[in-house]
Amino acid sequence: MNKFNKIIKNEEGSMTLLWIGVLGGMMVLFLFVLNLSKVLAVKEHANTTSQQASFAATSVIYDNLSPSISSYDNYILSLNLDPLPKLLSEKIAEMESSIRSNPRYRDYSSNEISLEAMDRAITSELSGGFEPELLKNLLESALQSAVPTMISVARDTIAENKGNIDEAKIRLKDNRIYIRASNDFNATAYDKYIKGFRKKLFQESAGPEIGFLSSLTLGISDNWIPLGDEEITWEEND
């Protein structure tokens, strides 16, 4: 009888150890899946961070076009020509109206349509408008002056998304503003099986294409420029 009881106790002990092992394995598997889910979530967050920063920096370019357009139109008006050539602002308005009535752009937001119209009208004016060289000079001057604001806005947007500014980068390539940014991933630890650690997960995104930039000479390098630097020189020779 004592021998039988001993066998039962040994089996119960083995079952207990088995269940402990199973539960431990399940915990490791659960944390693996949890960390994998966190990785995907952080990568998506980093993508949002870089995307919003690239769009924000691109918006700065368009925000700085109005003074150049006004100066260009005022120059044409000052010539007192008869008949008066169509002003650039009028061409932009007509282009915007045309795009809004086109079913192809029904999914575009009102702001996207406005930017598309501005891009097309300016591109057309630079290629064969009334005074393309004057417009080119006005735009180049305005956009070169806007670079510090572009950098500042990109930094602020990354910070608002809890991204890391110290290793973030910006570049202007193929008429688009690119941003490379990261967010922190903190792994959940479990005893000696899964170690806790922190890692920066990077993503890269580009803003919408700005077609008329191909007609300008901005002297801006297409190399990656660190946004974390206190003094940023974004010049062609860098």
Among 157, 168, 173, smallest CA distance to 203 is for 168
Distances (CA, A) of 216 to 15, 53, 57, 127, 137: 76, 23, 18, 11, 8
3-state SS of 143-167 is: HHHHHHHHHHHHHHHHHHCCCEEEE
- The pTM assigned to this predicted structure is 0.80
CA-CA distance, 228 to 118, in Å (whole number)? 32
CA-CA distance, 104 to 71, in Å (whole number)? 33
CA-CA distance, 39 to 133, in Å (whole number)? 50
CA-CA distance, 93 to 192, in Å (whole number)? 66
CA-CA distance, 99 to 110, in Å (whole number)? 10
Number of CB atoms found within 10 A of residue 168's CB:
25
Is the distance from CB of 208 to CB of 150 less than 8 angstroms?
no
Q: Vertex 64, ends 61 and 69: CA angle to 5°?
A: 115
Digitized pLDDT (tens) for each residue of the chain, 238 residues in all: 555 455 445 555 566 666 666 666 676 677 777 777 888 888 998 999 999 999 999 999 999 999 999 999 999 999 999 999 999 999 999 999 999 999 999 999 999 999 999 999 999 999 999 999 999 999 999 999 999 999 999 999 999 999 999 899 999 999 999 999 999 988 777 666 666 667 899 999 999 999 999 999 887 778 898 998 766 666 654 4
Q: Which contacts (CB < 8 Å, 24+ apart) does range 18-22 have?
A: none
Among 96, 136, 151, smallest CA distance to 119 is for 96
CA-CA distance, 220 to 173, in Å (whole number)? 9
Is the distance from CB of 50 to CB of 181 less than 8 angstroms?
yes
